[in-house]
Amino acid sequence: MKRSWYAGPYALWMLLFTVFPLIFVCYYAFTTKAGDFTTANLTRIITYYPVLLDSLRLSVYCTLLCLLIGYPAAWFMAGREFSRNKSLAVLILLPMWMNFLLRTYAMMTLFENNGVLNTLFAAVGLPKQTMIGTEGAVLVGMVYNFLPFMILPIYTVLKKLDARVIEAAEDLGANPLRVMTRVVIPLSVPGIVSGVTMVFMPAVTTFAISRLMSSGTIYLMGDMIEEYFISMNNRNVGSAMSLVMMVLILISIGLLRKVDPEGQGGGLW
């Protein structure tokens, strides 16, 4: 009984900063400014389905790119040879110590018309490229900011992987490709699921990256929610859109958890 008291502060924190805000979001989503019940706030999102599809599409692209880039990096970091040199881990963690907006502004200096990349292009005689204001710039900014959230969970799982399992597979005649596809990847599924979840959730609701990297030309759901709350002072519609995004995120997390419900790996094979 006394040990359960230690959970009191955490329960109070969850109640004040998670449960109550969710209750307020649900309340405003189903009411008008006058406090009357309505479902019009939810149905209004139908008129913005192109923006919703763009948000989901870019988020899926970002998650896939982070997985394709992050898995080899995590595998390399978890190797025995790398254990003597932690410089790559520091390089991956270092951007996370910086403010999110500062990291995004740093990316802007690379892609601006007179930025670092165009300066290098001009120095070697290549024409300048228009990169700011494109989906590619937004996608690169998303991958850059969210890539560590993919690498670290996978690295944690791979680091704990028993090397004797790999050695046993090799002794039984499995080539490196078969060891990777039949042993390493299935056992690292919990890390993959965690990484995908941690990247997809912030990516689908981002607004600062799309605003800065596209100069306001690419409009995502995060931008729309922020506009309804701040510019239009309409927390009812903004809450409804936030609620829809939360439901979509919960559905995606539920589908991911079905791949590996017990977190033991092997769910894909």
Among the listed residues 105, 129, 114, 128, the one whose alpha carbon sits nearest the alpha carbon of residue 215: 105
Supply the pTM of this predicted model: 0.87
d(Cα 269, Cα 263) in Å, to the nearest integer? 14
Alpha helices in the chain (DSSP H): 2-5, 8-14, 20-29, 40-43, 49-77, 87-93, 100-111, 116-123, 135-159, 163-171, 176-179, 185-187, 189-204, 208-213, 221-226, 235-259
In the chain, the domains with their CATH numbers are: 49-259 (1.10.3720.10)
pLDDT of 84 > 60? The answer is: no
pLDDT of 1 > 90? The answer is: no
Which segment of 47-56, 65-74, 158-167, 260-269 scores lowest on mean pLDDT?
260-269
* 166 burial via Cβ count (<10 Å: 0-12, 13-18, 19+): middle
Q: What mean pLDDT do residues 69-87 have?
A: 77
Q: What is the mean pLDDT of the chain?
A: 86
Is 99 strand, coil or helix?
A: coil
pLDDT at residue 39, rounded to an integer: 92
